[in-house]
Structure 1
Amino acid sequence: MHRPAHPALARGIPAPLAALLLALLLTWLPLRADATQTVEVRGVQFATALEESGQAYHLIGHGLFRYMIWTAYVGAYYQAPEALEPAPLSAVPRRLELEYFHAIAADDFAAATRDSVRERLGDAAYGELLPALNAFNRAYRSVEPGDRYALTWDGEALRLALNGETLHTSDDPALANALFGIWLGDRPLRDDFRDALLGRR
């Protein structure tokens, strides 16, 4: 039986050139796949690399947050690619994404954030940060299952976004550290969740 010619040869492309083009294509394809690779946590997908406003971020870790008997949300923590070690309370560009399994009211987010920051900072530092924190808390919106908050510090500005929509921005690095510290500091909401986000487990 006569076998049809390779498509490249059928168009008159020399065999050595066709082989070179095929090799280049096979080399290029994995790079494209890696650029869109994801990880999955309880059915929720997180990109292993992303870019926002010209700043690149790569995944450090991901995990599941449980509250008592409930599976509350899943999260992923990112840093700029040049930051090789986790540094969630530093000046490096970083990003935290949280996707929720249950409905939560905006007022509950604000109250929990306020209480968590106060507990970790103490009264004096909390008082200094309070105006900036109040402005941040007013930006919260209620969420339904499947909604995702993202908290990003790009090295110059803090951004809170819900499902990709910016709700609040600030240039206060102390506010950024206080907020990231809720999940990623020395006294996080849960040690196991922090360690998962920082790639320690």
Structure 2
Amino acid sequence: MAAPPEANAQTPARQVSVKDASFATQIDDSRRYEMIGHGLFTYLVWDAYAGAYYQAAGYPRPAPESDVPRRLVLHYFHAIEADDFASTTLEAVREQVGAVDFPSVRRPLTALVDSYRSVEPGDRYSLTWNGDSLILALNGAPLHRSNDNALANAMFAIWLGEDPLNRDFRDALLGR
């Protein structure tokens, strides 16, 4: 006797929606990442992008500045030029790490921002620390890789640190 069709069907991944963006609650990419939180980043009066923050399964408490494998996905609602990403990132990291520590991440940070590409509405950047490497990807295509954990922590701190770009967005991403 054959099993009913629903017994053979795979359960679709659960999704959450933020404005016009959907995010899977779990990502399987050489390891399983589980969503900690998601939110909307508003700049002045514009909804700039939606985001989701994930950590490797088995690390349920948010640990955005650590060696825990983690991923941040940002879905853009407006076009942004690569040069704007680069200048904003350089300034934000300088603010996160301070003038004394900035020289230690300057070289790997410059290599990362040089890999930025302009985005159009619907594009997604992801930033992943897999435990060994920091990977910047645009729409799933890797653009840059670094094994510098200090750079990874500085990059994640832009959105998830003690003094992020937007506290409400940080709190939503961290599930607070």
State the shift of 1:123 in Å. 1.0
Q: 1:163-189: per-residue Cα shift (whole Å, max 9, x none)?
A: 011000000000000000000000010
The two structures have a TM-score, normalised by structure 1, of 0.83
In structure 1, the gaps of 5 or more residues are: 1-12
Counterpart for residue 124 of structure 1: 100
CA distance in 1, matches of 2:62, 2:105: 25
Greater helix fraction, Structure 1 or Structure 2: 1
CA distance in 1, matches of 2:166, 2:15: 24
Give the CA RMSD over aligned residues: 1.5
Counterpart for residue 143 of structure 2: 167
Counterpart for residue 195 of structure 1: 171
State the shift of 1:119 in Å. 1.1
Q: How does 1:94-113 map to 2 (within 5 A)?
A: 94-113=70-89
Q: Contact conserved, 2:41 with 2:47, CA < 8 A, in 1?
A: yes
The two structures have a TM-score, normalised by structure 2, of 0.95
Q: Percent identity?
A: 54
Counterpart for residue 62 of structure 1: 38
Q: 1:13-59: per-residue Cα shift (whole Å, max 9, x none)?
A: 4xxxx7xx56x93xx76xx42x511111102110011112x111011
CA distance in 2, matches of 1:81, 1:112: 31
CA distance in 1, matches of 2:56, 2:75: 21
State the shift of 1:111 in Å. 0.3
State the shift of 1:121 in Å. 1.1
Q: Contact conserved, 2:50 with 2:75, CA < 8 A, in 1?
A: yes
CA distance in 1, matches of 2:20, 2:155: 26
Q: How does 1:22-41 map to 2 (within 5 A)?
A: 25=7, 32-33=10-11, 36-41=13-18
- Please point out which of 143, 163, 166 is paired with 2:119: 143
AA in 1 matched with 2:119: V
Q: How does 1:11-90 map to 2 (within 5 A)?
A: 13=1, 25=7, 32-33=10-11, 36-52=13-29, 54-90=30-66
CA distance in 1, matches of 2:60, 2:124: 26
CA distance in 2, matches of 1:85, 1:79: 9
Q: Secondary structure at the match of 1:73?
A: strand
CA distance in 2, matches of 1:58, 1:43: 21
Tell me: higher relative CO, structure 1 or 2? Use CA pairs within 8 A at least 6 residues apart.
Answer: 2
Q: 1:123-144: per-residue Cα shift (whole Å, max 9, x none)?
A: 1100111001100110000001
